[in-house]
Amino acid sequence: MTDLKTDKFYIDGAWVAPNGGTTEDVINPANEEVIATIAMGTAEDVDAAVAAANRAFATFSETSREERIALLKKILEVYERRYAEMSSIICEELGAPIDLCDKAQTAVGVGHLKATIAALENFEFEHINAEGDLIRREPIGVCGMITPWNWPINQIALKVFPAMAVGCTVVLKPSEVTPLNALLFAEILDEAGVPAGVFNLVNGDGPTVGSALSKHPDIQMMSFTGSTRAGRLITKDAAETVKRVTLELGGKSPNVILDDADLEKSIKQGLAQCFMNSGQSCNAPTRMLVHESQYAEAMSSAAKLAETFEVGQPAEKGPHIGPLVSAVQFEKVQGLIETAIDEGAKTLAGGPGRPAGFNRGYFVRPTVFGEVTNDMTIAQEEVFGPVLVMISYGDDEEAIRIANDTPYGLCAFVQSGDLERAKNVMKRLRAGMVRINGTDIGFGSPFGGYKMSGNGREGGVFGLEDYCEIKAVSMP
């Protein structure tokens, strides 16, 4: 592994020692061994980082679009050169298979950075409205950012790059579960010549560093990705200073397979999308809705297809599934599997415990439940593991009702042989993103959800707008 500065924070363009605080071990989820020990920050460390970001904002906010585009392009150059290091680190600390890291976990950093540059090149910072007033978009200020462990660089890129693109400065608290990729990210920005104070990183936990960021009077905006529970706490902390808060939270995405879809293909695709990243994706299609006339056939097919998904070591090449990220996550998923069985769900594949041949590491069995009703715990709570539930419906109306019967609204999936029919269903789904027939949204498209899946949008022009204040100017 790269020799990262795990005992320091990146503040004001330098690696600095923490102001007291504790330490935290980083665990390899594949073998449960300690791979690093990081310093954990305090409120005083946050104060130092915010002060640096405040000083930098005075000048960085005045830089030109062309200067910031040049800076982002330099970051891209360094990121691509250190691509293999990033994949190796994420593989080891998250447990994501190395092929997944190369093709997705690390790749999204490139994709989001290129999309940010493209959006910035044509972003409208000023225009004259119909009343003849000048409307300006200006950088909001110092932005606090808290990112999760499941797609770490994805969320760092979706927050840091757009904020910098419009002239904001940043204080980042990455997940303490997977902090090493963020330390490498700081090295990349430093090597690319990001001005001192524009980007700052303080490791720590939510109650200490996260809360200090959310409450800080000199932070104008908080951007958070993670659990709905934590999102509520951040919003409450931020309320005292009436700062902007954007949230990307949980999901329980429905996958509506209409009765004219290719059933076998849809099931195989749905399983792959659900099990990707060991099921640790907020937009995973974890509820598969199948027409009642095809339900028995679908359960039989899913049971057979699920057995083709292999579990393997993260460092090994191949399309297998890796471990969950931590002991806490492992116990949570095991508990929800047990609850599903207790509530009467039928185990079609997988079930409790580790897969055969695995006696250490946080590996779980890819699991499929049938005979699930939408009021069961397993159909309502976000599992964040490779667990799929299958629910039957009678007609399109009932499918839409079940799909929307969730506190979340991040993403939804529709499968149909008739695109117009799929689009008609799509229009009635209460979700921020809808993926039809195996497609995915692009890097420059808005990522975010309805209801308790959060507020605000990340990616492309929408991501830039979130980091801007709007000023109306009347002129003679």
Helices (H) and strands (E) in the chain, counts: 16, 22
CA dist., res. 327 & res. 457, Å (int): 31
Asked if residues 210 and 30 have their Cβ atoms less than 8 Å apart, the reply is: no
> Distance (Å, rounded) from C-alpha 290 to C-alpha 292?
6
Return the beta strands (E) in 330-448 as ranges. 346-349, 367-370, 387-393, 408-409, 411-415, 433-436
Q: Determine which one of 187, 248, 382, 458 is catalytic.
A: 248
Give the β-pairing of 9-11 and 14-16. antiparallel
Q: CB of 60 within 8 A of CB of 142?
A: no
Return the amino acid letter for 400.
I
**Span between the terminal Cα atoms of the chain, in Å:** 61
State which H helix or E strand residue 35 sits in: strand 33-39
Checking phi first, is residue 276 left (phi over 0); if not, alpha (psi -120 to 50) or beta? beta
Which tokens hold the place of 409? 């609204």
Residues 312 and 322: beta-carbon distance below 8 Å = yes
For residue 117, the tally of other CB atoms under 10 A from its CB is 18
Alpha helices in 257-371 (DSSP H): 263-275, 295-306, 327-342
Residue 474 exposed, middle or buried by CB count within 10 Å (0-12, 13-18, 19+): exposed
Q: The tokens 């000199």 sit on which residue?
A: 218
Q: What angle do CA 317, 321, 326 make, to 5 degrees?
A: 115
| φ, ψ for residue 12, nearest 5 deg | 60, 40
What are the b/e assignments for 57-85, b being 16+ CB within 10 Å? beebbebeeeebbebbebbbebbeebbeb
Contact present, 225 and 147 (Cβ < 8 Å): yes
Q: Which residues pair with 412 in a beta bridge?
A: 434
Q: Are 208 and 42 in contact (CB under 8 A)?
A: yes
Stated as kind and residue range, the H or E segment containing 420 is helix 419-426
For residue 310, indicate whether it is catalytic.
Answer: no
Known catalytic residues are 248
